[in-house]
Structure 1
Amino acid sequence: MTKIKNRQDVSFGTPIGVALGNVIAYSSDYETTNPLIYKSRSDFRSYVDGIYMGHKWQCVEFARRWLYTNKGYIFNDVAMAYEIFNLRSVRDIANNTELALNAFENGAKRLPELGSLLIWEEGGEFEETGHVAIITAVFNDKVQIAEQNMAFSPWPKGQNYSREIKAKLGDDGDYWLHCPSDGSTILGWLIQTDDAENAVIATLPIPALFNIESCTALLPNKDNSPWLNIANDDEYAFFKMMNGHQLSYNKSSALRYYNISSQAQIALETATDELHQMFMHATDYVLEHPELLEKFGLPTHLHEKIKRSWSNRANQLVTSRFDFSMSEYGLKVYEYNCDSASCYMEVGKVQGKWLKHYKVKGGTDAGKDLFNQLVKAWKARAINSVIHILQDDDPEETYHALFMKNAIETAGHECKIIVGIDTLKWNEHNEIEDSTGIKLQWIWKTWAWETALDEIRNSEDEIRNKVKHLKHEKPRLSDVLLNDNIMVFEPLWTLIPSNKAILPVLCTLFPNHPYLLNTSFELNDDLIRSGYVTKPIVGRCGANIKIVDEHQQVIAEKSGNFETRDQIYQTLFPLPYINNLYVQVCTFTANGNYAGSGVRVDTSMIIDRDSDCLALQCKHDT
């Protein structure tokens, strides 16, 4: 959110006050961050007693730190502060138990208490994020609160709270806190209590609302009438690959699309935001524990380079994709694709045009915001020269690259696509240039990082076998992507959250989390009893995945080029089988936040690169 500067503001990390309970609040003026103190991404992560509190020095971090210091419990990770209002438990750290947390709307008949969490909705001065503060004193006509990331100036001398908010007690005992007319809204307060009288009723989601509905569109008056605009380069590339104006390879699916409920859509948004934070936390944890990093099968001499990539605050993730199974049996994440994910154009553009062409009513395109969110993410990147898109000579990568080029250019950056790497060359300064002499400085790629790492592994084999190893006349992919003078999106550190070895780490850090499937580096009795899926820690498009049921029968299996890689074992949680197709939900992020949804379908339980992307819409509430 945007703050008004004043002469009393102090720089980032400077104490601005000490709250009741002896908890320090710090300035969060990021524009004044000292790069000599805050050198890396890890330096912005706040820990107390080894327990993660949040990102320095945001409002969520202060609230969690105050509760831990004074109450001994913390709330779970959230992407946005307003999402705290939906939490219904906190975790007692010493006893590792859950305690009830109840929410009371502004105007409730239960007054807030010392230590209550005060929550603002997104909007107004808290655009997109909302806000959270700790209530430190309650009166009939006001409350006193302590917080971070609201102002950057010190609290008044001798005052152990940041500000007061006017309150009014109604005739019926209803307690109201003042909301100014700037668009910011107080949702209410949260109290750790078992007494739910006058609290917001926590309605449990109806399981059936998570079922995906298979639907059939009506055939338009003109059969096979065109709907892709072939004057647009990305749509023409998609048209050529699909051999016509169609979204599905399979003729039996030509008119098929899927509906999800608005409740399921909200659940996907919440899960995506929360899981992104969890994967980032796990990435930091892995890079701080060498014994875990060894399990990721990465070239050892690159470990420090990966750590530097993570530490570099400019190396931010632009976009990524989660793969989910969603049905009445729950919502579970399979994996996180934040290296070289696909299906952006299908979800961000084609499915919307398909739904419009077939005049599908009663819902909203689930990918309608994806393109605009990608544009917003690229606008947030401080880029001062041409962005080169590197892609393989592949029809799918062609339209994928053209779609992303459109987003980059709409964000105001200059962009060029390079197909293959044969046209790249070294210049006299040992820098890499394109065929027109433009130096490569910023890259977005469709190549997987592992392709470059395989080149390194092969070179190491040559050296070990005493094969003469000369510098190549032309730059190799690894020369480009691992070049210290080139910034690559998505960054090198995405090798960690994209690697399936992260999944057992997540289960250790977040035991019994509702979005996670039990996953282990070893096949254990629990997995054998439930049925399990064997996955290589590095793999693409479903290659070398094997599914074994509770009777130890292999019910699905795919070959590939990753059979020599180490494996993980994940609890079997099948995709829903709907009208003869298995359906996987994919959600996309931009700047680490939910940006859109789509589906991939197949007659096989294992989704691969040939699986169809069909249209998905969120049904309007009835």
Structure 2
Amino acid sequence: MTKHNVTGDLPFGEALGIAPGGVISYSSDYDTADDAIYPSRSHFRSYIDGIYMGYKWQCVEFARRWLYINKGYIFNDVAMAYEIFRLNYVRDLVNNTELSLHSFQNGSQRRPEAGCLLIWDEGGEFEETGHVAIITEVFDDKIRIVEQNQDFGKWPNEQDFSREIKAKIGNKNDYWLHCPSGKSTILGWVMQTGDPKHAVLFDVPDKQSFNILSCSAKDNGKVNSPWLNIANDDENAFVDMMQGHKLSSSPSNELNYYQISTVAKEALESATDELHQMFMHATDYALAHPELLAKFALPEQILAKIRTSWANRRNQLITSRFDFAMSENGLKVYEYNCDSASCYMEVAKVQGKWLKHFEVKDGYDAGSDLFNRLVKAWKSCKINSIVHVLQDDDPEETYHAFFMKSAIEAAGYKCEVIKGLSSLSWTADGDIQDCHGDSIKWVWKTWAWETALDELRLDDSHQQQVNEHTLPPTLADVLLNDDIMVFEPMWTLIPSNKAILPILCSLFPNHPLLLNTDFEMNSELEKTGYVVKPIVGRCGANIQLIDQDKKVLAEKFGQFENREKIYQQLFALPCIDNLYVQICTFTAQGNYAGSGVRVDPTMIIGQDSDCLALQVSHK
């Protein structure tokens, strides 16, 4: 949350007040952050005793810091403050144990206590995020709280609390807190206690609710009818690639779609938000440890550029994709595709049109919000010139390029799609321009960063010609240019590289969303079966699945066989009606924005795997 700066507000990082225990609440007015004090993304990460507290100076960071200093425990990373209300434990960092958390709704017969977490729901003044504060004193008619990122004003009269909230006791000794803003909602308070009396009893999801359901639309005579608008460039390109108005390349799947429960959708949303934060933490950790960064096998000459890209807090992620296996056996993430991921248009646009065309009405489109979230992400970039979308001469990249162009234009920017690089040229000043003479300054690309890095691995004589601009601009010339802002940014080379996965496992041991992964084969992986993956790869190339009896279950060949590899615990995709089904979730600015599925008759999802429609059940 942010508010417009008004008289009396303090700039970013200034102390607003001191809470009990000597914990300082800081101003979070990001518009006033001093680049000399906070020059990089890492300077916005808050640590105490080497333990990550959160992003400076948000409400969640303050709550975790207060608990750590005063209680010796913290709760796990959350993407949104309102998600704290569903947490069920904190980690005692002194004794390395888990302590029970229980949540009590506003109006509960159990009063809050000093040290409780007070939680606001998303919406109103806390749009999308919710809010968290620490309760420090409890009275019959009010409570006192301490917090961060609610406003930027100094606490009055040197008091040790930020504000008071009116309370009222009901006829049944129920304790109610008034919402200071009529547009926001207090969910209740979260307390570290082993006594669940009067606590909210959250339903434990039935394992079956995580099963993906295979469905068929009715043959309503519309199979051969057009349903995509070829007057739109992206839809026309999609029809051209698919050779018709269809989602599946296989006629036997033309009426097939998939459905997940509301419980599963909520779990995917929560997992996506949490995992993004975890991957960002692991990225920061890898960049700070050269011995780990060496595992990524990146060219030495670009490491400084990657660090610079990560340090630039304005160099934000627009969108990304997680790949999951989900079934009654659990929910596990395979990897994170932050760089040039695919399937955006299928999920954001095509599956919704398919569901509407075939009159599938027993749920809602799992990707219905994705386009609007992408538009919002682009709007936040504050771009000051034309955006160039760079793509290779590839049918799939063509419709993705046009689709992203429509999102960029919806955000209010001028956009130009460039196919290939032959139309680019050097100016006399050493800038790169398009065929219209417009300078290339902002780029969204369908090419992977690794393609540009391969150019750096060329022989020295060729590289010298590139550096001297005696050859036309190359992809590396564009993407590695310090005067060009590229999306997705160069730092995405780190979380997209599968070398991040063993680091994640070391930072978050036994995390329920992670699969055991290592740089070397170990006895535990041999017992469970394992997957061999190149640290850099695309479309499932050079992946091998091996079971606990050392039998090769599936493998796919490709051009990445000479890359370094990691070994990941075997957790196969569910096979549903003879197709293996992978859930994909998409982010906008690091937050969940939609879901889709990819299917294949083999155990490895690849370039030719279909994206079929995914619906969230109303049940």
TM-score (norm 2): 0.98
Paired residue for 2:193? Answer: 193
CA distance in 2, matches of 1:287, 1:32: 27
Q: What is the letter of the counterpart of residue 597 of structure 1?
A: S
Paired residue for 2:592? Answer: 594
CA distance in 1, matches of 2:475, 2:503: 30
Q: CA deviation at 1:95?
A: 2.1
Paired residue for 2:433? Answer: 433
CA distance in 2, matches of 1:469, 1:589: 36
Paired residue for 2:73? Answer: 73
Q: Identity of counterpart residues, as a percentage?
A: 67
Map Cα deviations across residues 16-60 of structure 1 (whole Å, 9 max, x no partner): 100011101111111111111111111110000010000111100
5 Å-filtered alignment, 1:144-293, equals 144-180=144-180, 182-293=182-293
Map Cα deviations across residues 445-469 of structure 1 (whole Å, 9 max, x no partner): 0000000001101245967xx9999
CA distance in 1, matches of 2:390, 2:603: 32
Flag the 1:91–1:469 CA change in 2: closer, same or farther, 3 A. closer
Paired residue for 2:535? Answer: 537
Paired residue for 1:350? Answer: 350
Aligned partners of 1:319 and 1:592 also within 8 Å: yes
Flag the 1:154–1:524 CA change in 2: closer, same or farther, 3 A. same
CA distance in 2, matches of 1:151, 1:390: 41
Deviates more, 1:452-461 or 1:344-353: 452-461
Q: What is the letter of the counterpart of residue 383 of structure 1?
A: I
SS of alignment partner, residue 127 of structure 2: coil
> Which among 476, 479, 491 is matched to residue 477 of structure 2?
479
Q: What is the letter of the counterpart of residue 91 of structure 1?
A: R
5 Å-filtered alignment, 1:452-601, equals 452-459=452-459, 471-601=469-599
Aligned partners of 1:345 and 1:400 also within 8 Å: yes
RMSD: 1.4
Flag the 1:192–1:469 CA change in 2: closer, same or farther, 3 A. closer
Q: CA deviation at 1:346?
A: 0.5
Map Cα deviations across residues 366-401 of structure 1 (whole Å, 9 max, x no partner): 011111111111111111001000000000000010
Q: CA deviation at 1:470?
A: 6.2
CA distance in 1, matches of 2:174, 2:4: 33
SS of alignment partner, residue 600 of structure 1: strand
SS of alignment partner, residue 157 of structure 2: coil
Paired residue for 1:9? Answer: 9
Flag the 1:201–1:231 CA change in 2: closer, same or farther, 3 A. same
5 Å-filtered alignment, 1:368-383, equals 368-383=368-383
SS of alignment partner, residue 409 of structure 2: helix
SS of alignment partner, residue 607 of structure 2: coil
Number of residue pairs matched by the alignment: 619
Deviates more, 1:199-208 or 1:270-279: 199-208
Q: CA deviation at 1:537?
A: 0.3
Q: What is the letter of the counterpart of residue 326 of structure 1?
A: M
> Which among 583, 608, 615 is matched to residue 606 of structure 2?
608
Paired residue for 1:298? Answer: 298
Q: CA deviation at 1:200?
A: 0.8
Paired residue for 1:366? Answer: 366
Aligned partners of 2:321 and 2:587 also within 8 Å: yes
CA distance in 2, matches of 1:169, 1:461: 81
SS of alignment partner, residue 298 of structure 1: coil
CA distance in 2, matches of 1:110, 1:57: 31
Aligned partners of 2:596 and 2:611 also within 8 Å: yes
Q: What is the letter of the counterpart of residue 110 of structure 1?
A: R
CA distance in 2, matches of 1:505, 1:253: 39
CA distance in 1, matches of 2:184, 2:222: 50
CA distance in 2, matches of 1:472, 1:562: 31
Paired residue for 2:421? Answer: 421
CA distance in 2, matches of 1:135, 1:70: 13
CA distance in 1, matches of 2:221, 2:234: 27
SS of alignment partner, residue 612 of structure 2: strand
Paired residue for 2:412? Answer: 412
SS of alignment partner, residue 8 of structure 2: coil
Paired residue for 2:328? Answer: 328
CA distance in 2, matches of 1:567, 1:462: 29
Map Cα deviations across residues 467-526 of structure 1 (whole Å, 9 max, x no partner): 999644201111110001100000000000000000001101111111100000010000
CA distance in 2, matches of 1:214, 1:261: 12
SS of alignment partner, residue 457 of structure 2: helix
Map Cα deviations across residues 153-195 of structure 1 (whole Å, 9 max, x no partner): 1111231110111111222221111124521111000111111
Q: CA deviation at 1:240?
A: 0.7
In the alignment, structure 2 segments of 5+ residues that lack a partner are none
SS of alignment partner, residue 156 of structure 2: coil
CA distance in 2, matches of 1:58, 1:469: 44
Flag the 1:460–1:510 CA change in 2: closer, same or farther, 3 A. farther
Flag the 1:156–1:223 CA change in 2: closer, same or farther, 3 A. closer
Map Cα deviations across residues 412-455 of structure 1 (whole Å, 9 max, x no partner): 00000110111111110011111111110000000000000011
In the alignment, structure 1 segments of 5+ residues that lack a partner are none
Q: What is the letter of the counterpart of residue 404 of structure 1?
A: M
CA distance in 2, matches of 1:299, 1:245: 43
Aligned partners of 1:125 and 1:182 also within 8 Å: no
CA distance in 2, matches of 1:399, 1:138: 58
Q: What is the letter of the counterpart of residue 494 of structure 1?
A: T
Q: What is the letter of the counterpart of residue 208 of structure 1?
A: Q
Aligned partners of 1:120 and 1:130 also within 8 Å: yes
Q: CA deviation at 1:110?
A: 1.1
SS of alignment partner, residue 64 of structure 2: helix
CA distance in 2, matches of 1:161, 1:579: 59
Aligned partners of 2:501 and 2:517 also within 8 Å: yes
Aligned partners of 2:28 and 2:56 also within 8 Å: yes
Map Cα deviations across residues 519-546 of structure 1 (whole Å, 9 max, x no partner): 0001000000000000000000000000
Paired residue for 2:131? Answer: 131
Paired residue for 1:63? Answer: 63
SS of alignment partner, residue 46 of structure 2: strand
Q: CA deviation at 1:202?
A: 2.9
Q: Which runs of 4+ in 1 moved over 6 A?
A: 466-470
CA distance in 2, matches of 1:542, 1:281: 26
Q: What is the letter of the counterpart of residue 390 of structure 2?
A: L
Aligned partners of 2:2 and 2:149 also within 8 Å: no
